[in-house]
Amino acid sequence: MATYQEIVQKISELQKQAEEIKSREQAAVIADIREKIEQYGLTADDLGFGSGKAVASKKAARKVPVRYRDSAGNTWTGRGKRPGWLTQALANGKSVEDFLIR
């Protein structure tokens, strides 16, 4: 019967062997995919990786309404870093509420 240490050693050897096999198989799969992409003239959009409709619809679903606007038409949603036009207006004595869209 094998000891615990022998089994641990065997597991380690098998994991290394599995990683080597995976690397070889992965290289073959990547080569095959590249060949098919070239053969059929596929693009990132065709494969769902580009800026196609799926990505655009996700962006549209995440769109946040504008909450602040100045007289020049500059806008801000209220998220992220405060824009320069608003920072400058605040430095000149205005308040954020002055730009709030009601």
Q: Where are the domains of the chain?
A: 4-50, 64-99
- Answer whether 63's CB lies under 8 Å from 44's CB: no
Q: Return the exposure string of 6-25: e unless at least 16 CB atoms fall within 10 Å of the residue's CB, then b.
A: eeeeeeeeeeeeeeeeeeee
Range with lowest mean pLDDT among 61-65, 66-70, 78-82:
61-65
39-62 burial: b if 16+ Cβ within 10 Å, else e? eeeeeeeeeeeeeeeeeeeeeeee
Q: What is the rounded distance in angstroms from the CA atom of residue 36 to the CA atom of residue 44?
A: 13
Residues 45-71, mean pLDDT to the nearest whole number: 76
**pLDDT at residue 54, as a whole number:** 54
Cβ(74)–Cβ(43) below 8 Å = no
In this prediction, residues 44-54 reach a mean pLDDT of 75
CB atoms closer than 10 angstroms to residue 67: 15
Single pTM value for the model: 0.41
Does the pLDDT at position 30 exceed 80?
A: yes
Look at residue 22 in the predicted model and tell me its pLDDT: 95
